[in-house]
């Protein structure tokens, strides 16, 4: 497992607070290198959004099982998130009161505490395990007969071994809220979204009488200068309220290894607010708080994932069942995220996505026309920015399913052209015979010696990464 403190907390200082336990020394933080934007236009710098990836961090992409059970008991129901106004004429817009908005929305907001285990090494290289706890926020977005579903940011629960949800108690004292264990339903790292579920049977009748499912607004109807309220678990102390205005729409924000299109607000989004709600004056959730601009001397630049963007992704996460191991899909590549560090060496025209290092012989990827040196940018209709994101999407597919991969491929003039490939996924068990060969290739790749496995690049650019020796 990655060192949660070194790899993640550096990028989430403004969203996600870690507290070291079983270890008196606070772990050192890495310094982020300042670098110029490589897209020909000035992009906003963030300290948020995705885990740190090195220049080469390859994996074999094959389905992984997020859980042993289906999301729903009968396997036939699907949850849809409806964009609705506050019912029964109880809209708070007529008053324009932040207090009224808060009272209306707070029962749908939860605090999330996650526990992460990491391996540390002592002075004499002895190995020992430590635990860290993190604080974030979440929004109750759906309910069925068995579970409540809570939306949050992926980085809030990433690598967590335990997740707990604290519900609103109806009291200003957040310590009175009921704490219940939650289970991760699924994640989408590229959009920084995740869903956890809490069994209804584990929640007291008192709490069930207080909490509610959030009313979701239409972020496409949001206008500049519109007043908004941000609610979240600031600093891990419990629910807090800040207010402000929509400062910008469809703001392209450059993260460490991807670009996100977000809503900008001057409502303070403090540490621990990640996964909380950005709410309009009707009490409707129009965004999921995700990032805060971190630059010396800059204030009032918070960001939220628009609900129009988040809604279909959250629905997919909730409605796609986990896949049994003997049915898990297999693609047959090794690859890595195209990171900012990589662009420093190769140039800023390299597309964002997943760089394909090798393609296994006779694999679904090879049969579908995928080549080494291709860059995967879409999986079906979903954007792909990181290898974690691709792996997450693949993990929810069964062997035998057909998917469409959109790739960027470099031609003889050095220009990238887009191609769509139709690939029938294989079965994970089919990859066993290729595991040793794949591992040997990956070891060579990680050592900076790239050897093509299976399909070659159509442009004979097999030394694409060779200078990383």
- Residues 81-110: pLDDT tens digits? 766 544 433 444 444 589 999 999 999 999
CATH of the domain at 443: 2.30.42.10
Active-site positions read 155, 192, 274
CA distance 390 to 426: 16
Q: What's the pLDDT score for residue 447?
A: 54
Residue 266 tokens read as: 């001057």
Q: What's the pLDDT score for residue 468?
A: 27
| Residues of the chain scoring pLDDT < 70 | 1-78, 80, 82-96, 172-175, 256-257, 291-298, 321-322, 347-348, 429-469
Cβ atoms within 10 Å of 173's Cβ, excluding its own: 9
Q: Is residue 82, in this structure, part of any structural domain at all?
A: no
- Range of 409's domain? 325-468
Instruction: Tell how many helices (H) and how many strands (E) occur in the chain.
Output: 9, 22
Contacts of 155 (CB under 8 A, 6+ apart): 8, 11, 12, 15, 16, 48, 49, 50, 51, 192, 274
Q: What's the pLDDT score for residue 125?
A: 76
Cβ contact 287:83 at 8 Å: no
Q: Is residue 300, in this structure, part of any structural domain at all?
A: no
Q: In the chain, how many domains are there?
A: 1
CA distance 120 to 112: 25
**Look-up of token digits 């939306």:** 151
Q: Is residue 412, in this structure, part of any structural domain at all?
A: yes
- Residue 102: C-alpha distances to residues 1, 233, 461 (Å): 39, 14, 57
Q: What's the pLDDT score for residue 369?
A: 95
Give strand pairing partners of 197. Answer: 149, 183
Q: What's the pLDDT score for residue 61?
A: 37
Residue 315 backbone dihedrals phi, psi, to 5 degrees: -65, -40
Tens-place pLDDT, residues 407-455: 999 998 888 999 999 999 998 766 655 555 556 665 655 554 433 333 4
Q: What's the pLDDT score for residue 170?
A: 84
Q: What's the pLDDT score for residue 220?
A: 92
What percentage of the chain exceeds 70 in pLDDT?
Answer: 67
Q: Is residue 79, in this structure, part of any structural domain at all?
A: no
- Residue 432: C-alpha distances to residues 111, 201, 427, 428 (Å): 42, 41, 10, 8
Q: Is residue 329, in this structure, part of any structural domain at all?
A: yes
Q: Is residue 458, in this structure, part of any structural domain at all?
A: yes
Pick from 400, 364, 458: which is nearest to 61 by CA?
A: 364
DSSP labels for 451-464?
---SSPPTT--TTT
pTM of the model: 0.67
Residue 443 tokens read as: 């070891």
Q: What is the dihedral of CA 54, 55, 59, 64, to 10 degrees?
A: 40
Q: What's the pLDDT score for residue 325?
A: 72
Q: Is residue 461, in this structure, part of any structural domain at all?
A: yes
Q: Is residue 145, in this structure, part of any structural domain at all?
A: no
CA distance 425 to 427: 7
């Amino acid at each position: 497992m990655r060192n949660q403190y070194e790899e993640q907390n550096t990028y989430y200082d403004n969203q996600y607070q870690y507290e070291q336990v079983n270890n008196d020394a606070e772990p050192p933080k890495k310094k982020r290198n300042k670098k110029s934007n490589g897209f020909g236009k000035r992009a906003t710098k963030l300290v948020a959004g995705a885990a740190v990836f090195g220049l080469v961090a390859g994996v074999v992409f094959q389905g992984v099982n997020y859980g042993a059970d289906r999301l729903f008991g009968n396997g036939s129901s699907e949850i849809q998130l409806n964009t609705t106004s506050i019912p029964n004429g109880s809209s708070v817009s007529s008053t324009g009161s932040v207090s009224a908005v808060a009272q209306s929305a707070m029962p749908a907001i939860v605090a999330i505490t996650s526990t992460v285990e990491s391996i540390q090494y002592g002075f004499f290289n002895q190995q020992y395990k430590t635990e860290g706890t993190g604080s974030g926020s979440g929004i109750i977005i759906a309910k069925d007969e068995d579970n409540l579903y809570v939306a949050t940011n992926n980085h809030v629960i990433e690598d967590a071994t335990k997740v707990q949800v604290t519900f609103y108690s109806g009291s200003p004292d957040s310590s009175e809220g009921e704490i219940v264990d939650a289970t991760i339903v699924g994640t989408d790292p590229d959009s920084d979204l995740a869903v956890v579920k809490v069994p209804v049977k584990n929640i007291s009748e008192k709490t069930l009488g207080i909490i509610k499912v959030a009313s979701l607004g239409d972020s496409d109807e949001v206008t500049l200068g519109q007043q908004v309220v941000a609610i979240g678990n600031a600093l891990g102390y419990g629910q807090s309220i800040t207010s402000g205005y929509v400062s910008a729409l469809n703001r392209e924000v450059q993260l460490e290894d991807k670009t996100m299109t977000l809503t900008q607000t001057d409502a303070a989004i403090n540490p621990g607010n990640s996964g909380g709600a950005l709410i309009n004056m009707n009490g409707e959730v129009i965004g999921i708080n995700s990032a805060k601009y971190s630059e010396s001397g800059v204030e009032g630049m918070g960001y939220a994932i628009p609900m129009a963007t988040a809604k279909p992704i959250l629905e997919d996460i909730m409605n796609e069942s986990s896949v049994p191991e003997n049915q898990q899909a297999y693609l047959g590549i090794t690859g890595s995220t195209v990171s900012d560090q990589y662009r420093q060496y190769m140039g800023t025209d390299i597309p964002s996505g997943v760089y394909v290092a090798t393609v296994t012989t006779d694999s679904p990827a090879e049969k579908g026309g995928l080549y080494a040196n291709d860059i995967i940018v879409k999986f079906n209709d979903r954007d792909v920015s990181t290898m974690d994101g691709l792996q997450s999407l693949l993990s929810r597919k069964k062997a035998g399913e057909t998917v469409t991969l959109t790739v960027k491929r470099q031609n003889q003039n050095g220009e990238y052209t887009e191609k769509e490939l139709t690939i029938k996924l294989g079965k994970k068990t089919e990859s066993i015979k290729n595991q040793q060969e794949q591992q040997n290739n990956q070891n060579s790749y990680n050592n900076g010696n790239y050897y093509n496995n299976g399909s070659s690049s159509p442009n004979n650019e097999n030394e694409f990464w060779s200078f990383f020796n």
